[in-house]
Structure formats: C-alpha cells, structure tokens
Amino acid sequence: MMASGSSGVVVRRGRCSVVRGAALRAVLERHGSVLFDCDGVLWNGEAAVPRAAEAVRALTSRGKQVFFVTNNCTRPRANYVTKFSRLGFSDVTEEQIFSSAYCSAQYLRDVAKVQEGKVFVIGCQAIRTELQEAGVSVVEEVEPGSQTGTIYDYPLDPDVRAVLVGYDEHFNFIKLAKACCYLQNPDCLFLATDPDPWHPLRGGRIAPGSGSLTAAVETASGRTATVVGKPGGFMFECIAAQFAGVEPARSLMVGDRLETDILFGHRCGLAATMLTLTGVSTLQEALQRRDQEDGGAGAGDRKEGLAPDYVVDSVADFIEAYREEEEEEEEEG
Ligand SMILES: [Mg+2]
C-alpha cells in the first residue's frame, strides 16, 4: 500500500526496514504518540525486557504521549499499574492502559449500551471487575468446578443482552452450552475480548488464548463474534476519545505480533507500525509477509497490513538511538 507522508512524499508501507541509531531516532521523532503492546514487547511474563522501562521513559521525557494497548484481559487496569511498577516502569498511570477487558467494558457501555440488561461472561475475574467498574451488569456465575449435569439443569437469565468471551481457565461444556442458548436470540450481542489463539509460556509450552474459546462458541452457535481487541480498531477509538490531540497520522504502533499489533496499526490508519523481535513474530515471518504483499507467491489470498514498516531488535534500541543524539549534541556544544 502507498501512503502520503507528512512531507508530501509518497512512501511505501510495510517495508520491514530494520532501523537503529539515527534512522530509528528520526522515526521516533516523527510521532507524537507511541502505542505499545505489553507482552513480548515490554515484558515476557514476569521478566521485563531489559531496559524497556528506560526506553519508555526516554519517550515520555521527550514529550511523547505513551499508551499501552494489550489484548491480555487477565488483569484489571489497577492491577496493571502494579505490574508496571513492579517491573520498574515508574509513572505509568491507569489512564494510559487500554486492555481488552477495559475496552470491552467501554464497548458494552458506550456502543452497545447494555445498561438495561446483563452480560453473560465466559472469562476471568478481571473482565467481570472491569464490567462492574463501567456499571455493566454481569450474570452471576456459579463456582468453577461445580457445573455438573446438563444444560437443562441451569436456568437462563432473561435479561442477557450480550455474551462476552475472553480468557477463561475454567472454560467448560456448560458455559459453552449457555452461551449458545443466549446467542440463539439474534438480538443478543456476541463479543470477544481478543482473537489471540495461544500464548507462549516458559519451556516451549503454550496456553490456549481467548480466540480458541471464541472459536468454540462461534462453531457451536453459528455466529461470528465482534472482536474488541487488536486487530480491531476499537482500542484506538477509546484512546482518541479520551486524549485530545491523539491522531492516527501522528501515531506509531510498537508490537511483537504481526496478526494483532501490526495489523491493528494498519487498520487504524496509524502513521507507522514497528515490530520488535522480543516476542512472538520473527523477522523472517515479517519479510515473508512483505514479499506476499508485494504480490509474490500466494498473492491470491494475501492479507494486507501484516508487514511492519520498521523492525527493531528490542525497544531498548530506542535508548541507544537517543544516546547518539546526546553525544552529537555534546560534540556540537
Ligand atoms: Mg504481544
């Protein structure tokens, strides 16, 4: 795809340019807002990406608006602040954090306007907490593990207006059956927090993500969920609605997953996307996407918007880029 840059020069998108030093600094300087994914970008589990906190500080100290957009729905915003602080990211506030759980609550309240009814949730406690904070009523759930019998043994709540599916370690057959019963009503909204198929764990193990549970509900109900998280554009709408001056044309998305983060940046019309290699997607995968989007092999079913504009090894490269600037200034001074 082609886009007109701020200089009026037509620049090609999705070139996967590996940038560091002065070139990286120039990219960062062009953007007033920087959106970060979290898992695989700033940390992996409980281990911070080395110097990631310093990289974020380097941006905020230069007056950039920094936001965190994560498909991970397992923590309420307040809990994220604690995690940021525990991993050395000082001065991160709740207002900067846009998780799929928080944004799902915003969607249900402001877009779907389900205040009159209730939401049936397949998901973790964090989702319920965010919904309650937003004033959205949730159907009471019975204790995990106590769901026995058949679907006939469970009453259905007549006030349910929406089904929301997210990450749920206690997913079971009865929850799936209930969701499908609610979704037989065509007026019942079907939402998913995020489409993530799986998450990497230590030692080569993986955990199924919300997307795999949503797929089960979609198959059994014959319906398709509206996805709130990346690559859907709603998270950016949430940011733009809450922060004046945040514009797609001046925003940079930094993420580790092509199918969610990079596609999100592309779909939201952000000025640029940047892949960092500390998480899921590899440089090789990015280059493959670029070649496909160029119209090479498999062009017939190619998916546009998955090739990042820029690639860095780690967000820690930001520090090096700015350090060079400081050195240059010292030489000039
Ligand atoms: Mg990630």
Domain presence at residue 86:
no
For position 153, what pLDDT does the model report?
85
Q: What is the CATH number of the domain that holds 213?
A: 3.40.50.1000
Q: Residue 257 falls within a domain, yes or no?
A: yes
* 201 CA to centre of own chain: 18
pLDDT digits (tens, 9 = 90+) for 162-204: 999 999 999 999 999 999 999 999 999 999 999 999 988 888 8
Whole-number Å distance between alpha carbons of 188 and 307? 36
- Asked whether the predicted pLDDT for residue 260 surpasses 90, the reply is yes
- Catalytic-labelled residue, pool 37, 256, 309, 317: 37
> pLDDT tens digit string along 85-124?
999 999 899 999 999 999 999 999 999 999 889 999 999 9
Print the domain residue range for 124: 101-227
Q: How many angstroms does the Cα of residue 279 sit away from the middle of ligand 1?
A: 6
Q: Looking at the structure, do residues 214 and 272 belong to the same domain, yes or no?
A: no
Give me ligand 1 centre to Cα 308, in Å. 14
pLDDT score of 140: 84
pLDDT of residue 5: 47
227-265 in b/e form (b: 16+ CB < 10 A) is bbbbbbebbbbbbbeeeeebeeebbbbbbbbbbbbbbbb
pLDDT of residue 159 exceeding 70, the answer is yes
Going by pLDDT thresholds of 50, 70 and 90, the confidence category of residue 141 is confident
* Per-residue model confidence as pLDDT tens digits over 288-324: 999 998 875 554 555 689 999 999 999 999 999 998 7
SS3 category, 222: coil
89: number of Cβ within 10 Å: 22
Question: What per-residue confidence (pLDDT) applies to 302?
Answer: 54
User: Do 235 and 206 belong together in one domain?
Assistant: no
Tokens of 183: 């979704």
Residues 197 and 294 in one domain: no
Provide the domain count of the chain: 2
Catalytic, 37? Answer: yes
In-domain check, residue 222:
yes
Distance 67 CA to ligand 1 centre (A): 14
- Give the domain-ending residue among 227, 254, 289: 227
**In angstroms, what is the span from residue 229 Cα to ligand 1's centroid?**
12
Q: Where are the beta strands (DSSP E) in the chain?
A: 2-4, 10-12, 17-18, 33-36, 43-44, 47-48, 65-70, 97-99, 118-122, 137-138, 160-165, 189-192, 198-200, 206-208, 226-227, 251-255, 272-276, 310-312
192 and 298 housed in the same domain: no
Domain presence at residue 280: yes
Same domain, 250 and 298: yes
Asked whether residue 106 falls in the same domain as residue 221, the answer is yes
For residues 66 and 156, membership in a common domain is answered with no
End-of-domain residue from the set 227, 246, 265: 227
Q: Which residues are bridge partners to 35 per DSSP?
A: 67, 253
Compute the distance between CA of residue 293 and CA of residue 270 in angstroms, rounded to an integer: 18
Residues 282 and 320 in one domain: yes
278 CA to centre of ligand 1 in angstroms: 9
Do 179 and 287 share a domain, yes or no? Answer: no
Do 184 and 126 reside in the same domain of the chain? yes
Same domain, 119 and 164: yes
Model-level pTM?
Answer: 0.91
**Final residue in a domain of this structure, among 227, 260, 285:** 227
**Could you report the per-residue pLDDT of 208-217, keeping only the tens digit for each?**
999 999 999 9
Ligand 1 centroid–CA 93 distance in Å is 20
Q: Which two tokens stand for residue 16?
A: 């996967």
Is 37 a member of any domain?
yes
* From 39, 194, 256, 317, active-site residue: 39
Give the pLDDT confidence of 5-38 residue by residue, as tens digits: 444 455 578 999 999 999 999 999 999 999 999 9
Residue 85 lies in a domain: no
What percent of the chain has pLDDT above 90?
A: 80
Whether 228 contacts 101, CB under 8 Å: no
14 located within any domain: yes
CA 71 to centroid of ligand 1, rounded, Å: 8
Is residue 211 one of the residues assigned to a domain? Answer: yes
